[in-house]
Structure 1
Amino acid sequence: MNRFAEQERESLASHLRRSIRGEVRLDFPTRRLYATDASIYQMEPFGVVLPRDADDLQAIVAIASEMRIPLTPRGGGTSLSGQAVGEGLVVDCSKYMDAILDLDPIQQIARVQPGVVLDTLNRSAEAHGLLFGPDVSTGSRANLGGMIGNNSAGARSIVYGKTIDNVHRLDVVLSDGSRASFDALTQAEWEERAARNTFDGQLHRTVQGVVERNRDEIDRRYPKILRRVSGYNLPELAAPGKKGLHQLIIGSEGTLALTAEAVVKLLPRPKARGLLVPQFATLADAMNALAVCLEMSPSAVELMDQLLLELTAGNLALRDTTRHIDRRAKAIFMVEFSANDPAEVVDRAQKLAKRLSGVPGLITCLTAIEPSIRDPLWNLRRASMPLLYGMPGDRKPITFVEDTAVSPEKLPEYVARFKEILLRHGTDGSFYGHASVGCLHIRPLIDLKSAQQVVTMHRIAEEVADLVLEFNGSLSGEHGDGLTRSEWNPKMFGPILMDAFRQIKRAFDPKGIFNPGKIMDAPSMASNLRYPPDYKPTEPRTVFDYSKQDGFLRSVEMCNGNGACRKTTGGAMCPSYRATRDERDSTRGRANALRHALAEGADLRQRWLHEVFDLCLMCKACKSECPSNVDVGKLKAEFLQFYYRGRSRPLEHLMVGGLPYMQAWLSWVAPIINRIQGSSPGRWLLEKMAGIDRRRSLPPIHFQNFRRWFRGHRPDPLAGSRGSVLLLADCFTTYQEPNVARSAVRLLERAGYTVKLADLFCCGRVWISKGFLLHAKTWVARQAATLAKKLGPDTTIVGMEPSCLLTLADEWPELVPGPDTRHVAAAAKMADSFLAERGELRLRPMESPCVLHGHCHQKALLGNNAGATLLRQIPGVKLDVLDAGCCGMAGSFGYERGHFDLSAKIAGLALLPALAQRPAHVLAAPGTSCRHQIEDLSGRKALHPLEIVEKQLEPEPNS
């Protein structure tokens, strides 16, 4: 429980709202969502504040100092050591203070706010051939402020060093609310600053005195290795040459000041990169080969062990890449070479491969120079941490001794000794990370729900701390001390330096408001755990099957907080977060909300939970792009089933759920219906009654629907020459876009297949999306049994609408587990994929360029190239496949009152700008929602890929 009284919360809220322009959130749901980061810890904060600028930061610090409320700075919330959780006020700079204020390519510097995401900075720098050196694996969501607080490094630190080596100046807010600017000073400049009768002057005097009195102890205690971030950075201040207090604040984990701005160094971006991937029979073989790998001056040497290789093979988004890895390999290195000359990269990779050829235990070496092979392989390593936590079950590879660092030449013996500790305690772990600099991320398998296992964790941590000191290493190589390692700092630094740390802390922060309990005066690393001793969550009865995840609860718990859902570009996850930049609208926020509710045994029908899930578009991007494969779309459907149990449904839910029943008879009066829904009074009425935003145009209903057309259709002469298929004529295509289904039939028949209708009245998608799961379950059980009887051993069910066809493949087996649904799922295939594989169509060249926007479900379950393969078979086609995220429509979501603005905003983030850059392109989109969103918001008509391909059909010679 939080130790602060409710009346203090109200007083703080009042003070803050009068003083800052940013957001002040002290409500119960927000406190729950910010209680965790990516670590094993949980501490409910007093509240959360989201400042808009440095003035807000000053006001926040001044008020917190006056009220003695602790402050915990937070960026992307990706800390693995618990630095971003605390019981005071969380200061989240990621939403508003995320600007690149200036980028000077001549001086090779950038001035940034603390909330700037690393990848965002690097995209801007790339335009000038530059980059920011430290490249953490969480770069898609890691904030520069967090990297400064942690002194982050990344895979290429052997070349670029740590954050401390790449920062010119810090502008900070001190504990009295004043601003200060710190950069490198000569000795004379330092003494001039120290002579000032100011808070700044006092800090320079104190730090100089601490360093002078403890020079010998600093030299004796700090390890002489590159990857050392434990404690405060006193060696940098004891070294000759220029120095500044910014070096002390970097890596101080928010315990000394809040960063308001930073001027960072940019470096030339290598023009060429390449990988050599040696693959070994054992982990020991890999360790013994490390010295050889380092001989060729690589820019990185990254290790992946057997457990990680197995997990990548089972990950939806990564499994295709693992075909490059020999199945016999139990450990691999990714040895990266960088240079401006591509020939040099190839030469060094070849020379290393030759040097390794005689190394014991080497199975094979893969050279990956082409980006199409190199980049996916590199991404395997970047996904390592969250992949591990996505393992089902309670015993997981957790972070608590994952960041130790020793000299690389000592790694073989160190790893062997580390494994002995784990075996002695009855467990094992995963070994991966930055072998090039001796900083391996070793994660023991521990069940934190077991009190005995928590004791084991603490014992392992103590023994590992002793092992690290024996090897003259560092307890932390980049993740920092936080709640995980601060307890062991007295072992590493001794009483003299711990006292020096306290002197510095008292000088900077006399009231102790800046992130207390980190680096010094820490609680036990076994306290404040995400799963406390009294953790007894509810395991509710569900409609979906969660046996693959060991139950609904564990499906929720698979979210470890790594924050991949907070990325702002690339892929589709998470469209609502990208639009709002709000933690509660992220995949992580929703999973955390459910976990808290289950942990407290609470009724899942609470309104605040509904608000958290409301903006989830159920796009399924998290099912594949979340490294832990947390499927929040599925969780939302289950939640809605819980939420509306015994509660009246809104009329719009009933109307959406009734669409499959209504469309057939609406088709009989299509002209009247279309006239009504297209009129202003009709739109007003639909908004009032059905919740459909009046700004939306509804797709017209067709009197000549697909089923009517099909009954009178005369098959192509080639139909049946190669077999038959069952066509899933979904209700949207049948009644609203029959032209798409007609194109599908013509193409399939021309390819030699007889087309039979699957006679499936509805796939159940609309019911699943609104949480009518019991109805969907009953329906699917009946339909699957009927459909399975129609399937021969080689029968394929082909569909045109991704969301409907893939419901058969994805949701059906989890709604009704059994042979019928498994048989149907195995037979289901998108029509464009089927034709690309078996069509052998004769097509005319296409002169106009074409651009494809993939459907989110198709991208998540089949990959972004699934729809592109058929289009590429058109001779001469110039095809762009967009990586433009979600269109924002998501079935009925974008039509609904209250969702229209967000839907349009999502489309405007990437999709609409990408289309505007291609005014002459033919637009292809396999999803009906995507096509209507594009037409509504851009005024341009998009076609289904099947329509485009049909237009290019060569006429048959006899026709």
Structure 2
Amino acid sequence: MTVVTLPIPRARKPSEAGGEQPFELSEALREAVRGEVRFDPGSRAVYSTDASNYRQVPIGVVIPRDIDDVVAAVEVCRRYDAPVFSRGGGTSLGGQCTNVAVMLDLAKYVNAVESVDAEHRTAVVQAGIVLDELNKATRPHGLVFGPKPATHDHCTIGGMLGNNSCGSTAQWSGTTAANVRRMEVLTYDGVRMWVGPTSDEEYQRILDEGGRRAEIYRQVHDLRDAYLGQIRTGYPQLPRRISGYNLPDLLPENGFNLARALVGSESTCVTILRAELDLLPEPTHVALLLAGYDDIASAADRVPLVNEHHPYILEGLDNKLIEYERDRRMNTVALHELPPAGAWLMVKLTGESDEEARTRAEELRDALDKDGGLRTHRLLADPEHQAELDSVREAALGATARVPGMADTWPGWEDSAVPPERVGDYLRDLGKLLDEYGYGAASLYGHFGHGCVHTSIPFDLVTAAGIADFRSFVTRAAHLVVTYGGSLSGEHGDGQARGELLPIMYGEDLVRAFGRFKAIFDPAGRMNPGKVIDPNPLDGQLRLGTDYAPPVQRTHFEYPDDGGFAGVPTRCFGVGACRRHDSDAGVMCPSYQVTREEQHSTRGRMRLLFEMMRGETIRDGWRSREVHEALDLCLACKGCKSDCPVSVDMATYKAEFLAHHYTGRIRPRAHYSLGWLPLWARLAAPAPWAANLATHAPGLGRLAKRAAGVDPQRDVPRFAPRRFTDAFRRRGSRGSGKRGRVVLWPDTFSNSFDPGIPAAAVTVLEAAGYRVVVPQDTVCCGLTWISTGQLDIAKRVLRRSLRTLAPMLRDGLPVVGLEPSCTSVLREDAVNLLGAGDLDAVRLRQQTRTLAELLDEDAPDFAPRLPELTGGATQAIVQTHCHQHATLGNQADRRVMERIGLDARVLDSGCCGLAGDFGMTPEHRDVSLACAERVLLPEVRDADPDTLILADGFSCRTQIHEAGTWRRPRHLAEVLAAAVGAQRPGWSATGRQREESRDAPATVERQA
């Protein structure tokens, strides 16, 4: 896909870059690098933390355009004696990806799959390629890169090489290091070379060539020989030994493999440019066995028995994790697959056929049953069900990070590993240690087949006593894991979190060897300093710390789950799920998906809010232009509300920020035009033709759009000749009322621009046995004022609407919303803005339904059928409005569409890109259309003419119709009206024709 390129922010003066020297460095980098060089406060703030407990604001950020840019950037840093490190997805939990250094972000551009050799099962890739993108390129050959971390849809190969990542599939494939053939690396002093296994002949040839490369090889060889005994005996023998440098790969019996020795060195030795990777045939026939036990340690006791059956994947999950996911309403479908138990083993086995895989799973089940202690089990062969269970495990880090009613949990001892046969006993001792420190709420889970145990712990990282306990706990935990012959890290590496603890695991001699190994490649100590070797203290440079004291802010929203707005910025812990790249990336985060800019990811924006609250890098609070710039491209889609593991709600934070940012200031013109749209629609109602003339007449329309701050290339929607509410009030309420009365919410968009939709809804509701009522006075949810941050006005509008609705709400009438964005306000934002003390707002939240929800829950016997076409059932593709995805859900819609005989395919297309006022302004045009072109518009263009296009959102319908397609999307209410045989003249079930729905009030009146 095309990446939208945005203006590059610059440090405005030397002081903003941290002094004269960094400013000179930034200018030198701009001269040498074709990519993007960013030393401005906003960019530095965005990259100040990773997914760890640590925070270090970088000197500056370089986003290289290609590999030559990487080389040029390192050369400039060497000239200025500036420390440097490279970053992939930025999800490291040990603090590897945060430093006071020049950061190289390779993910945006340096991400090519350069070649795939299916015959030899290899691929050559650049360091910034995302794992899922690599596997998308290799899967047509039946091959994949084997290790698969939970972050596979956004972690980069460079990051995996830096940390020696593993994931659940490492049970089958081995670690990242085990799947590397060669790497092209760059040293700080400019040596660029391919490294890999080195025969004696190759080693001698390198020495004969002389130069710095030969010096490196000779010194590494000498180091290996000097510590030969310690290397052979000082490393624990277990499959997940990730801590420390991989010096055993230098042994003669391992081929003196310099590439594998450098994997896991966390950017402390070299910058990785390219890698030649081994590929494996992906298992295609897999069966999943769920085995339930009383507790997690009892489940882990069975790991040796399961490993005898050579599983593809063996995971352990405790009941705390499952309860935390249930509390967060995560993976609700998948959790139904879990049989009742205190803990589970999740085992995947493969075969040459589905039958063989199932047979192997049954044999394992029988063996576990015979062994005793098996409380329950379930065998799943369907790949879709297996994927659902995978999502339970992959969501674990997010699910345990912020649990409602509990203290936040943090990494620090999140991935220790022991020999697989000792996991059960280790878990019992680890559990006792957790209880001793009051950390017993921590969930325990992980890759038990390899002995790797994951947990997030409720450390107190803001008080001196809490931080002392943190240090004491991890030190004792390190001694504990070593007594079991284990590793401090079984997956995430050392960084700052465990670098200080390495002598406990390896002893002083081997740690000195690690230091010598680093010095061979980086004698100046400028590669990611303070990590692994000569590490910063494990309780230093904390993201929070004893000096963290964000100011108490008076806000419009209450943020009860965060303890006020001060707690909002710490909600994001950096897992980076908002950085997904692939075409089925979901809703979050649309602006990142098309810009690939960290500052336009949900995580990047949260980092800026954090730094704004901290007041050091971002010093001007609500007035910050850096924060405004990042939030400007937030589409307020609310995708993060549902897709983010910790339910970040950036749309709400943006509204809050804009409210404060523009206090006492002139706002952008679009805030007065589009932000006040409900008022203009009401004023236009007596003479809509005049308003349409002003916005569509040649010359005059262009001037009107310019004055309103609207994109001149956009066709402003036309006001309907008559509003739905005017027509309905003349008609009066009808219907048998056998199912009772319902309030139809007349949102501005449907009421004034597309009144055929509420007219169709009346037809459907009356046919279903309801008596429809519409508020007598004008009502509005305040959406347009909320999205532009005019929150005082939004509150007044909401309170006025609630006064009108109060009698109906207190009578318990359901309120049916047709426009998803407005319905979302009624369901969620109204209470958040007005407060839970406003009982009418609470009633509105509880009584608001979508049309599909009402029919699905309250009228299950209402089942009109669409007439079938010659080729069978009516086909449809559905664009789900992002607010519906985030706050309302669309399961009821799916069931209702199935009930009426509609064969609907719901697109995984994310946000349409128009998003209310966002796509209507000229400065957002490119991003808006790029969002739509990612999936939605190509799907619409490719759809058969007989396929219905469904889109309940006004923005979605507008974007589809105006962005180069000839199709006019339908609202579900219109299709349901057709199913009851009451479609208006000129309507075609195939969607080929459509009478302008603004004329539809006449239909309502004709029913009188």
* TM-score using structure 1 length: 0.96
Instruction: Find the partner of 1:595 among 610, 628, 641.
Output: 610
Instruction: Find the partner of 1:868 among 894, 904, 913.
Output: 894
1:135 aligned onto 2:152: no
| CA pair 3-154 structure 1, distance change in 2 beyond 3 A | farther
Instruction: Find the partner of 1:753 among 756, 760, 770.
Output: 770
Report if aligned partners of 2:18, 2:59 keep a CA contact under 8 Å in 1.
no
Task: Give the match for residue 728 of structure 1.
Answer: 745
Report if aligned partners of 2:131, 2:153 keep a CA contact under 8 Å in 1.
yes
Which residues of 2 match residues 810-825 of structure 1 at below 5 A? Answer: 810-816=828-834, 817-818=836-837, 819-825=839-845
- 2:668 & 2:521 partners in 1: Cα distance? 56
- 2:166 & 2:675 partners in 1: Cα distance? 51
1:11 aligned onto 2:24: yes
| CA pair 106-671 structure 1, distance change in 2 beyond 3 A | farther
Q: Percent identity?
A: 35
- 1:22 & 1:256 partners in 2: Cα distance? 24
Task: Give the match for residue 483 of structure 2.
Answer: 470
- 1:777 & 1:347 partners in 2: Cα distance? 62
Output one character per residue of 1:819-856: Cα deviation in whole Å (capped at 9) or x when no partner.
22221111111112323442613213343521111000
- 2:940 & 2:920 partners in 1: Cα distance? 21
The one-letter code of the counterpart of 1:845 is: P
Deviation of 1:34 (Å): 0.7
1:374 aligned onto 2:386: yes
Task: Give the match for residue 992 of structure 2.
Answer: none
Task: Give the match for residue 914 of structure 1.
Answer: 939
Task: Give the match for residue 998 of structure 2.
Answer: none
Instruction: Find the partner of 1:843 among 862, 865, 869.
Output: 865
Task: Give the match for residue 889 of structure 1.
Answer: 914
Task: Give the match for residue 756 of structure 2.
Answer: 739
| CA pair 485-364 structure 1, distance change in 2 beyond 3 A | same
1:75 aligned onto 2:75: no
- 2:730 & 2:323 partners in 1: Cα distance? 53
Report if aligned partners of 1:833, 1:869 keep a CA contact under 8 Å in 2.
no
- 2:455 & 2:864 partners in 1: Cα distance? 55
Deviation of 1:323 (Å): 2.8
Instruction: Find the partner of 2:715 among 672, 697, 701.
Output: 697
Output one character per residue of 1:665-705: Cα deviation in whole Å (capped at 9) or x when no partner.
31332223223322442342234211100011111101122
Deviation of 1:303 (Å): 1.9
Deviation of 1:866 (Å): 4.2
The one-letter code of the counterpart of 1:355 is: A
| CA pair 423-456 structure 1, distance change in 2 beyond 3 A | same
Instruction: Find the partner of 1:254 among 260, 267, 292.
Output: 267
Report if aligned partners of 1:58, 1:178 keep a CA contact under 8 Å in 2.
no
- 1:331 & 1:562 partners in 2: Cα distance? 25
Deviation of 1:746 (Å): 0.8
Instruction: Find the partner of 2:403 among 391, 396, 403.
Output: 391
Instruction: Find the partner of 2:107 among 88, 94, 98.
Output: 94
Q: Which stretch shows the higher mean deviation, 380-389 or 274-283?
A: 274-283
Task: Give the match for residue 556 of structure 1.
Answer: 569
Task: Give the match for residue 956 of structure 2.
Answer: 930
1:337 aligned onto 2:349: yes
Report if aligned partners of 1:317, 1:625 keep a CA contact under 8 Å in 2.
no
- 1:852 & 1:562 partners in 2: Cα distance? 30
Deviation of 1:405 (Å): 0.8
The one-letter code of the counterpart of 1:895 is: M
Output one character per residue of 1:453-491: Cα deviation in whole Å (capped at 9) or x when no partner.
111111111111111221111111110110101101122
Report if aligned partners of 1:390, 1:560 keep a CA contact under 8 Å in 2.
no
Deviation of 1:358 (Å): 5.8
- 2:431 & 2:719 partners in 1: Cα distance? 66
Deviation of 1:440 (Å): 0.4
Secondary structure of 2:253's counterpart equals coil
Deviation of 1:362 (Å): 4.1
Report if aligned partners of 1:173, 1:259 keep a CA contact under 8 Å in 2.
yes
Secondary structure of 2:676's counterpart equals helix
Q: Which stretch shows the higher mean deviation, 758-767 or 504-513?
A: 758-767
Q: Which stretch shows the higher mean deviation, 271-280 or 930-939?
A: 271-280
- 1:11 & 1:937 partners in 2: Cα distance? 45
Report if aligned partners of 2:171, 2:314 keep a CA contact under 8 Å in 1.
no
Instruction: Find the partner of 1:622 among 615, 619, 640.
Output: 640
- 1:23 & 1:3 partners in 2: Cα distance? 17
Deviation of 1:170 (Å): 0.9
Deviation of 1:505 (Å): 1.5
Deviation of 1:276 (Å): 1.9
Secondary structure of 2:85's counterpart equals strand
Task: Give the match for residue 365 of structure 2.
Answer: 353
Task: Give the match for residue 545 of structure 1.
Answer: 558
- 1:261 & 1:699 partners in 2: Cα distance? 50
The one-letter code of the counterpart of 2:627 is: L
Q: Which stretch shows the higher mean deviation, 174-183 or 244-253?
A: 174-183
Task: Give the match for residue 592 of structure 2.
Answer: 577
Which residues of 2 match residues 407-806 of structure 1 at below 5 A? Answer: 407-428=419-440, 429-569=442-582, 570-600=585-615, 603-713=621-731, 719-759=736-776, 761-791=779-809, 795-806=813-824
Task: Give the match for residue 942 of structure 1.
Answer: 969
Deviation of 1:359 (Å): 6.0
Secondary structure of 2:344's counterpart equals strand
1:879 aligned onto 2:913: no
The one-letter code of the counterpart of 2:846 is: A
Deviation of 1:4 (Å): 9.4
- 2:351 & 2:635 partners in 1: Cα distance? 43
Report if aligned partners of 2:655, 2:791 keep a CA contact under 8 Å in 1.
yes
Report if aligned partners of 2:113, 2:134 keep a CA contact under 8 Å in 1.
yes
1:232 aligned onto 2:245: yes
Instruction: Find the partner of 1:151 among 155, 158, 164.
Output: 164
Secondary structure of 1:68's counterpart equals coil
- 1:683 & 1:135 partners in 2: Cα distance? 54
Instruction: Find the partner of 2:849 among 816, 829, 832.
Output: 829
- 2:34 & 2:406 partners in 1: Cα distance? 43
1:118 aligned onto 2:131: yes
- 1:180 & 1:172 partners in 2: Cα distance? 6
- Count of residue correspondences: 953
Report if aligned partners of 1:278, 1:332 keep a CA contact under 8 Å in 2.
yes
Deviation of 1:336 (Å): 1.9
Deviation of 1:536 (Å): 1.0
Q: Which stretch shows the higher mean deviation, 479-488 or 350-359?
A: 350-359
Secondary structure of 1:886's counterpart equals coil
Deviation of 1:175 (Å): 2.0
Report if aligned partners of 1:170, 1:263 keep a CA contact under 8 Å in 2.
yes
- 1:177 & 1:393 partners in 2: Cα distance? 52
Q: Which stretch shows the higher mean deviation, 335-344 or 706-715?
A: 706-715
Output one character per residue of 1:758-801: Cα deviation in whole Å (capped at 9) or x when no partner.
45510111111111222222332343354242136763211111
Q: Which stretch shows the higher mean deviation, 96-105 or 577-586?
A: 96-105
Report if aligned partners of 1:64, 1:513 keep a CA contact under 8 Å in 2.
no
- 1:107 & 1:797 partners in 2: Cα distance? 63
- 1:698 & 1:340 partners in 2: Cα distance? 59
- 2:117 & 2:761 partners in 1: Cα distance? 54
Secondary structure of 1:345's counterpart equals helix
| CA pair 677-786 structure 1, distance change in 2 beyond 3 A | closer
Secondary structure of 1:262's counterpart equals strand
Which residues of 2 match residues 100-249 of structure 1 at below 5 A? Answer: 100-240=113-253, 242-249=255-262
Q: Which stretch shows the higher mean deviation, 239-248 or 76-85?
A: 239-248
- 1:364 & 1:269 partners in 2: Cα distance? 30
Deviation of 1:571 (Å): 0.9
Secondary structure of 1:256's counterpart equals coil
Report if aligned partners of 1:392, 1:549 keep a CA contact under 8 Å in 2.
no
- 1:745 & 1:338 partners in 2: Cα distance? 54
Q: Which stretch shows the higher mean deviation, 157-166 or 794-803?
A: 794-803
Output one character per residue of 1:609-663: Cα deviation in whole Å (capped at 9) or x when no partner.
2112111111111011100111111111111111122222233212223221221
Report if aligned partners of 1:110, 1:264 keep a CA contact under 8 Å in 2.
yes
Deviation of 1:712 (Å): 4.0
Unmatched runs of 5 consecutive residues or more in structure 1? none
- 2:377 & 2:976 partners in 1: Cα distance? 42
